[in-house]
Amino acid sequence: MVRAGTVAAIALMLLGAACEFGRQVADRADRGSPSGYVWQVPVGFPAPRVPIDNPMTPEKVELGRQLFHDPRLSGDGTVPCASCHRPELAYTDGRSRSVGSQGNIHPRSAMSLTNVAYNATLGWDDPTLTRLEDQALVPLLNTQPLEMGVAGREDEVLARFRDDRRYRQLFHRAFPKNEDPVSIRNVTYALASFERTLISGNSPYDRWAYGGEVDALDADERAGARLFFSQRLSCFRCHAGFNLSGPVVYDGSGTPEAQFHNTGLYNEDGRGAYPKANTGVQRHSGRSEDMGKFRAPTLRNIALTAPYMHDGSVPTLEAVLDHYAAGGRARSLGPDSQNIRPDSATDPLVIGFELTPEERRQLVAFLRALTDESFVLRARERSVE
């Protein structure tokens, strides 16, 4: 058992490291990008990394914003990107599994786009998907399952925007060097530019940890923070860093090794197998050791993004804590929470723990304190302009 004083010291050390990181990157964020684009980033946040072939411009961001909310971008003209990434839900959709064009059900839930610019990998389980420009093609062109339904109808979709005088102007302003700027490539580049601006960092936790507002968190929320950063629970080991999501990339950073975790959510064959459509990294690599491995999503705005896990199978924050406290479904736990089955694929970090009712309440209070109301308000405003 780790003593309370030690736990508090660990939490303070981690918070101190985060603040020092913020001081180191602040100058870089303030200077803006090489293209002259000025980032609006919170205190303690670096400027996002931007690929050389798609520099940021206000015109490109505005085009991406318009396209993101326009159903004409889908094959049948009925489904915008925003149907699965709703601004008021921190760019998720409130469903267990997303619904695409023509009512097709996706096997996974829509990940939040909160701070997506900082993700080392994109999506739930693909280690090779690292550019927003490439990721945008996935929902547009996927056929199994059908998402936006653009595959095979690219010319039809683009014609809708070429025939719209306002969009012709938007595309020409965003890509002035292109003779015919209305293209799938430029659609994905504009979407990626817009998504890089979806930066959230003004939650009560941020104001407490980075802004020096000692009263931004109440007593329960501070107690929950100590639990979150404690060795006993070790939540911070997977949900790490300023984005509470594990490895991040940003302007001037290196490229960290991607991390994926099997959280013991399924055990269909007694050896930790996951349902066929959702085998995690294994569906890309084919390796048995990758079974059930998914990326840890950001916990920012987590109170708005229920239901949880890659398939939305856990309905509430309280149920998430119960899952991890039990050590997952795929592991047999003894009374000391250390009796790990040798054939389990569950991540060794998921060993289970005990929470008193008071600690459970405090930890949920801390997770709710990660909600950035100003981010949600700004997202709503941008969706209706």
In the structure encoding, which two tokens stand for residue 382, read together?
A: 């941008």
**Residues 376/87, Cβ–Cβ less than 8 Å:** yes
pLDDT higher than 60, residue 200: yes
- Looking at residue 337, its pLDDT comes to 41
The per-residue DSSP string of 52-92 comes to: TTS---HHHHHHHHHHHT-GGGSTTS---GGGTSBGGGTSB
- Looking at residue 26, its pLDDT comes to 41
pLDDT higher than 70, residue 236: yes
Range with the poorest average pLDDT among 148-152, 330-334, 368-372: 330-334
Place of tokens 């994109």: 122
Measured in residues, the chain has a length of 385
- Looking at residue 270, its pLDDT comes to 76
Encode pLDDT of 25-78 as tens digits: 444 444 455 567 999 899 889 999 999 999 999 999 999 999 999 999 999 999
DSSP tag of 217: S
Average of per-residue pLDDT across 332-339: 44
- Looking at residue 384, its pLDDT comes to 64
Domains belonging to the chain, first-starting first, are 58-199 (1.10.760.10)
Which residues are within 8 A (CB) of 299 and not within 5 positions of it... i.e. 6 or more apart? 239, 244, 245, 367, 370
Burial 253-284 (b: 16+ CB within 10 A, else e): eeeeebbbbbbbbbbeeeebbbeeebbbbbbe
**Residues 192/130, Cβ–Cβ less than 8 Å:** no
Range with the poorest average pLDDT among 44-53, 85-94, 227-236, 340-349: 340-349
Average of per-residue pLDDT across 168-177: 98
Which residues are within 8 A (CB) of 63 and not within 5 positions of it... i.e. 6 or more apart? 170, 171, 173, 174, 190, 193, 194
- Looking at residue 342, its pLDDT comes to 45
pLDDT higher than 50, residue 12: no
Where does the pLDDT of residue 345 fall: very low under 50, low under 70, confident under 90, or very high at 90 and above? confident
Encode pLDDT of 248-280 as tens digits: 999 999 999 999 999 999 988 877 889 998 999
- Looking at residue 354, its pLDDT comes to 94
Where does the pLDDT of residue 379 fall: very low under 50, low under 70, confident under 90, or very high at 90 and above? confident
- Looking at residue 183, its pLDDT comes to 98
Average of per-residue pLDDT across 195-218: 96
- Looking at residue 148, its pLDDT comes to 96
Encode pLDDT of 98-132 as tens digits: 999 988 999 999 999 999 999 999 999 999 999 99
- Looking at residue 17, its pLDDT comes to 44
Encode pLDDT of 68-104 as tens digits: 999 999 999 999 999 999 999 999 999 999 999 988 9
- Looking at residue 29, its pLDDT comes to 42
Q: Which has the higher per-residue pLDDT, 15 or 344?
A: 344
- Looking at residue 108, its pLDDT comes to 95
pLDDT higher than 50, residue 24: no
Encode pLDDT of 134-158 as tens digits: 999 999 999 988 999 999 999 999 9
The span from the CA of 309 to the CA of 315, in Å, is: 9
Range with the poorest average pLDDT among 194-208, 275-289, 370-384: 370-384
